[in-house]
């Protein structure tokens, strides 16, 4: 598997995040911080998550995307868009219930802005564990299947904190 990275671009309030390669726990702090600050920008209009070059994505990254959807609905009364052309990735998204909280598109979207790589944010192990816990709680809140699938992991993370 390729190691992952997250690219971004912004044009007139629309933010594009492109996940490239295998997006894992090592990028959770970077992703969570970027999403939190992006939603606070005065010019924010929408966000598109491009997974067309994603080869793998873990539950922590999926949980942070679920958290994004909740924040976006609460703050801007809209759902973010995910673009996925990889059948395996799309299947995972559907199994997690993302079709209920995101607009899912299976066609490529051209990005007219130049993409830049997000700078990697390094945090303490404890802070990363907190972010992982928040991400999995967000996944659990999507549906009963997720609640059952991640219950033991969340309990374990809670006892570690």
Per-residue pLDDT at 1: 44
The domain ranges of the chain are 5-160
Per-residue pLDDT at 90: 96
Structure confidence by residue, pLDDT tens digits, 52-95:
999 999 999 999 999 999 999 988 899 999 999 999 999 999 99
**Within 10 Å of residue 85's Cβ, how many Cβ atoms?**
16
Tell me the sheet residues that pair with 18.
7, 50
Structure confidence by residue, pLDDT tens digits, 16-41:
999 999 999 888 899 999 988 988 88
Task: Output DSSP code: residue 102.
Answer: S
pTM: 0.87
The yes/no answer on whether domain 5-160 falls in CATH 3.40.50.1950 is no
Per-residue pLDDT at 53: 93
Strands 14-23 and 46-57: parallel
Number of residues that make up the chain: 161
Q: Are 20 and 5 in contact (CB under 8 A)?
A: yes
Q: Are 70 and 39 in contact (CB under 8 A)?
A: no
């Amino acid at each position: 598997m390729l190691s992952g990275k997250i690219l971004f671009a912004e044009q007139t309030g629309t933010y594009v995040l492109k996940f490239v390669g295998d997006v894992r726990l090592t990028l959770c702090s970077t992703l969570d911080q970027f999403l939190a600050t992006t939603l606070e920008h005065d010019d924010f209009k929408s966000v598109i998550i491009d997974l067309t070059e994603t080869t793998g994505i873990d539950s922590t990254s999926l949980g942070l995307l679920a958290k994004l959807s909740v924040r976006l609905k609460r703050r801007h009364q809209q759902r973010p868009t995910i673009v996925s052309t990889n059948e395996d990735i799309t299947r995972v998204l559907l199994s997690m219930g993302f079709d209920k909280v995101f607009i899912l598109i299976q066609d490529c979207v051209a990005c007219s802005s130049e993409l830049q790589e997000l700078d990697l944010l390094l945090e303490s192990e404890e802070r990363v564990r907190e972010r992982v816990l928040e991400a999995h709680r967000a996944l659990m809140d999507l549906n009963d299947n997720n609640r059952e699938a991640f219950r033991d992991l969340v309990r374990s993370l809670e006892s570690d904190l």
